[in-house]
Amino acid sequence: MWKLLRWAVESQTPRATVLVRLLVGAVFLSEGIQKFLFVDELGVGRFAKIGIPWPQFSAPFVGVVETVCGAALIAGLLTRLAAIPLIIDIAVAIASTKVSMLLHDGFWKMAHEARTDLCMFLGGIFLLIVGAGPLSLDRWIARALGQRGRRAKLVMLGIVALLCLPGSKAALAGPPFITDDPEPVDLHHWEVYIASQRSNTPTGRSGTLPHIEVNYGAAPNLQLHTIVPYAYSRAGGGPMERGLGDIELGVKYRFIQETDRRPMVGIFPLLEVPSGNADKGLGSGHAMLFFPVWVQKSRGSWTTYGGGGYWINPGAGNRDYWFTGWLVQKDLNERWTLGAEVYRTTSTDVTSEGQVFTNVGGQFNIDDGHHILFSLGRSIHGDSGTAAYIAHQWTFGPREEPAPAAVLSPPGKPPSAGPTATSP
């Protein structure tokens, strides 16, 4: 990690490099923001028009990447790392729109329309090669990392928190927490997460960078679920291994609805498919099954939920184990929700004693469809370890028609229904 950070922030270029940073960063920042301001012209509508797959997902994702990484270039914060997704972004834009223009309208038409794209592509490559220059936050970070002692450690921790706030090794459920809830996604609606997680233990570290989680409301009270992770793992002083991790599949079903007196209850069985390479520490090497029951109750701005279940964990030296957890969270306002959980797992193999783990985290609502989720926790009993999680969540689905207004009737007559949605 130290080597990666030093590469990301160290630079020997002249002060004038800030001009390239401002040029490239300002264009991407502006374009990213406009994808949310002008959805039909530059966001989802444009992505659908030019044939980019899943425009309701891909347009907001590109908008967030351009906004965040563009701002990072302007500030000179982790410039080389911020340049990488922007180079990929603009390369896809050139391939999807300008190549067809070259083939159909000729070189000069393409050269005129692609002039900004090509400048952004070459500017991004330039910043990837040379870094931020002296007028940047990277220069301050590089100086702090060059010092030994407490200051360097604080900078390191802050950057790790910024880059890697990931989750726990136990189960990818209930973002940003491990304890899950019984409430499924609404009918025909979607939840999509681009997330990262990290787990540290005395024997090594592991996580995902990133993993993709998708939840879909397939039927009333029924949710389909999958997670596809790009995993990494490092045991002790061994090499860092990377690759596909174990894929997770699940079905959540709510069979008791919440009322004033009664909690909501549901089940959420999960299957861990052994798609990761167990020899490299990227998977378990065996299919695992989880059979939990979850309960939830809300009152005002407070919500509490929890439950538990049994993990079937085959393999030499492994043990089946129990998971139990409980969480309390509060909606502070329309933007912020904060919560805390405590969960316990019994021994998962012959070398472990189980653990009790605490997590604190929350959610920030950018708007109705875009949310940032985060959590950070540590073991307080048993096997030691720390964990963290961060994700960008998109929620979308069919828009509901507004309810028709009631038509007032003369005295003595029942009220009639208002006009239907299909009425002129």
Model confidence pLDDT, tens digit, residues 73-128? 888 888 888 888 888 888 888 877 777 788 888 888 888 888 888 888 898 888 88
Q: How far apart are CA 58 and CA 64, in angstroms?
A: 10
Please classify residue 234 by burial: count the beta carbons closer than 10 Å to its beta carbon, then call 0-12 exposed, 13-18 middle and 19+ buried.
middle
pLDDT at 151 over 60: no
What's the pLDDT band for 248 if we cut at 50, 70, 90?
A: very high
Q: How far apart are CA 221 and CA 215, in angstroms?
A: 13
What's the rounded mean pLDDT across residues 157-161? 48
What's the rounded mean pLDDT across residues 149-167? 46
pLDDT at 157 over 70: no
Identify the pLDDT of residue 182.
93
What's the pLDDT band for 185 if we cut at 50, 70, 90?
A: very high
Share above pLDDT 70 across residues of the chain, in percent, rounded to a whole number: 84
Identify the pLDDT of residue 169.
37
Nearest to 283 by CA among 311, 322, 242, 324: 242
Identify the pLDDT of residue 165.
38
Identify the pLDDT of residue 39.
77
Q: CB-based contacts of 418: which residues, under 8 Å, 6+ apart?
A: 404, 405, 406, 407
What's the rounded mean pLDDT across residues 259-266? 92
Identify the pLDDT of residue 146.
66
Residue 230 backbone dihedrals phi, psi, to 5 degrees: -95, 110
pLDDT at 403 over 80: no
Q: How far apart are CA 305 and CA 177, in angstroms?
A: 11
Residue 383 near residue 354 (C-beta atoms within 8 A)? yes
Nearest to 356 by CA among 322, 325, 384, 381: 381
What's the rounded mean pLDDT across residues 308-337? 92
Q: How far apart are CA 250 and CA 262, in angstroms?
A: 26
Residue with structure tokens 């407490």? 150
pLDDT at 265 over 90: yes
pLDDT at 216 over 90: yes
Q: How far apart are CA 40 and CA 56, in angstroms?
A: 11
Residue 87 near residue 73 (C-beta atoms within 8 A)? no
Q: Please, what is the average pLDDT of the chain? A: 81
- Locate 258 and state its tokens: 């919440």
Q: How far apart are CA 72 and CA 351, in angstroms?
A: 44
**Which residue type sits at 325?**
G
Rg of the chain, C-alpha, whole Å: 25
Identify the pLDDT of residue 419.
33
Of 254-268, 294-308, 369-383, 395-409, least confident by mean pLDDT is 395-409
pLDDT at 292 over 90: yes
Identify the pLDDT of residue 4.
61
Identify the pLDDT of residue 81.
84
Identify the pLDDT of residue 264.
95
What's the rounded mean pLDDT across residues 175-200? 91
What's the pLDDT band for 147 if we cut at 50, 70, 90?
A: low
Identify the pLDDT of residue 329.
94
Residue 168 near residue 357 (C-beta atoms within 8 A)? yes
Residue 242 near residue 205 (C-beta atoms within 8 A)? no
pLDDT at 411 over 60: no
| Domains observed in the chain | 2-146+152-157 (no CATH), 165-396 (2.40.128.130)
What's the pLDDT band for 400 if we cut at 50, 70, 90?
A: low
